[in-house]
Amino acid sequence: AGQPDFLLAVEALTVSFDGFKAVNDVSFYVDPDEIRVIIGPNGAGKTTVLDLICGRTRATSGSIKYKGSELTKLSESAIVQAGVGRKFQTPSIYDDLSVFENLEISYPRGRSVWGALTFKRDAAVRDRIHEVAEMIFLKDHLSKRAEFLSHGQKQWLEIGMLLIQDPELLMLDEPVAGMSVAERKKTAELLHQIIKGRSVLVIEHDMKFVEDIAHRVTVLHQGKVLSEGSMERVKNDPKVVDVYLGH
Ligand code: ADP
């Protein structure tokens, strides 16, 4: 009882910039354990939707409910605390720290100064770092300085730095951009593995990758939802072929 049906319910979400509606009456619902991919041409409003969910941009109107609670009035840090993690396109790892240390500094240690000062590298923390390192294919590179990782490994490390905070909703902006074919395959495996107990919302342009990962796809066009459903359904939708996939 009291369990919300959706992990995330976005309803009639709208944001105007100087009268221009970058996101215009967008609604979609993400289930628990779902990988949802948002596709659409440049300027469709994809990044702005993620900015709205993580609190970086304020909605003009509409609602974003996460586990039944309204996010649109919360600060960015309160949204992170609620369990929403976001990875941006540019990596924000610490090049001069090891893989282990990058994961360690991302481990949640409470919000107080006291919590940070008294934080100890105890066995539970170490175990969690090893568990995450294994998921992101870096368990044999724990002592390597992050600057020596490949581009793909850096992207995985950043996902790991979010995973260690145990978000229930993970948002990723073009996670496989610049990756090799082999790295893309492993990233798809990683996403399928991490959705047990969480959901992933991804912006992606690589249609092969979208086919590999998406449970459902939401197509945005000019700030509105143009189509939604399985990749099979969406890619055969004449409206989608017309504005996007046909090019
Ligand atoms: P996408 O990620 O699909 O490429 P965006 O969400 O980045 O699209 O942008 C959607 C539209 O909103 C674009 O026309 C963009 O120029 C505009 N836009 C985004 N952010 C702002 C802002 N802060 N101020 C004004 N216009 C913006």
pLDDT along the chain (247 residues), means of 10: 77 97 98 96 96 97 96 95 88 92 86 59 86 97 97 95 95 94 96 94 95 97 97 94 73
**Interface predicted TM-score (ipTM) of this complex, two decimals:** 0.97
Nearest CA to ligand 1 atom 25: 17
pLDDT of the residue at 188:
97
- DSSP code of residue 168: S
Ligand 1 pocket, residue 24 CB under 6 Å: no
Atom 17 of ligand 1, residue of closest alpha carbon = 22
DSSP conformational letter for 7 = S
Torsion angle of C-alpha atoms 184, 188, 194, 200, degrees rounded to 10: 100
Query: Which residues are paired to 219 by β-bridges?
Result: 39, 227
SS3 (DSSP) at 141: helix
Decide if 85 contacts 194 (C-beta within 8 A): no
What is the reported pLDDT for 246?
60
CA dist., res. 81 & res. 128, Å (int): 19
Q: Can you count the helices (H) and strands (E) in the chain?
A: 10, 10
Q: Are 57 and 48 in contact (CB under 8 A)?
A: yes
Closest atom, ligand 1, to C-alpha of 45: 6
Site to probe by mutation for ligand 1, drawn from 23, 48, 204, 224 as the one with most ligand atoms within 8 Å of Cβ, is: 48
* Model pLDDT, residue 123: 83
CA of 77 to the centre of ligand 1 (A): 23
| Rg of the chain taking only CA atoms, in angstroms | 18
- Position 115 scores a pLDDT of 60
CA 46 to chain CA centroid, nearest Å: 12
Residue the block writes with tokens 């260690």: 164
The reported pTM is 0.92
- How far apart are the CA of 48 and the centre of ligand 1, in A? 6
Pairing of strands 84-87, 169-173: parallel
43 Cα–ligand 1 center, Å: 6
C-beta 44 within 6 A of ligand 1? yes
152, β-bridge pairs: none
What does the pLDDT look like over 8-43, one tens digit per residue? 999 999 999 999 999 999 999 999 999 999 999 999
3-class SS of residue 118: coil
Q: How far is CA 220 from the centre of its chain?
A: 17
Atom of ligand 1 nearest to the CA of 17: 25
Joined together, the tokens standing for residue 86 give: 């976001």
Tokens of 100: 């282990």
Q: From ligand 1's centre to the CA of 206, what distance in Å?
A: 20
All structural domains of the chain, each given as residue ranges with its CATH number in brackets, are 1-83+172-247 (3.40.50.300), 93-166 (no CATH)
